[in-house]
Amino acid sequence: MRSLVTLSLEIAVAGAALAGCASAPLSFIEGDPWTRTDRTLYHVHVVSIDGGIRFEAPSHAINIEPGRHDLVLEAAPGRSARGSLQKHVPFDVAPCTRYFLGAHRDSPMDADWLLVVDRQEPVSGCNADEEMKKAQAAPASGVAT
């Protein structure tokens, strides 16, 4: 006999899986660089996507629809830099792709930075054709739910 906690957890997981199937397409951007040993790469916080402000934790993966988006990003401050610098960046998102973004600085004292895609990988179990059909059937919002 399953406990009430176990049953509740199973229902929550099943609900999350069904909700994930309804959202399209499964592309993600993350502000944590994949490479941990490169001292010139810094965390990037996604401030907004297409004018919509993002309130997620900085390390939270953001589900996003494919296509061109206007991102506002803010790099984590360097070890000696004062303040942070936000940038508007046009960014093309492919379906069923996870992007690990980073801010490259030549020196930790620089406030200025360049956006780099530190790693790009396919989302496992995601069929790009099916996800594009879902996206075309859903109302255009810019960011998948």
Per the CB < 8 A criterion, the answer to whether 44 and 103 are in contact is yes
Peptide bond into 108 cis (omega under 30): no
Over its length of 145 residues, how does the chain's per-residue pLDDT go in tens digits?
A: 444 443 343 433 333 343 444 455 689 999 888 888 888 899 999 999 999 988 766 667 899 988 899 999 998 877 665 667 899 999 999 999 999 999 998 888 888 899 999 999 999 888 888 877 776 776 655 555 4
pLDDT one-digit tens code per residue, 7-38: 343 433 333 343 444 455 689 999 888 888 88
Cα-based distances in Å from 68 to 65, 91, 95, 122: 9, 6, 11, 18
pLDDT averaged over every residue in the chain: 77
HSE-up of residue 6 (Cα within 13 Å, Cβ side): 3
Extents of the domains making up the chain:
25-137
Rounded to the nearest 5°, which phi and psi values hold at 123?
-85, 120
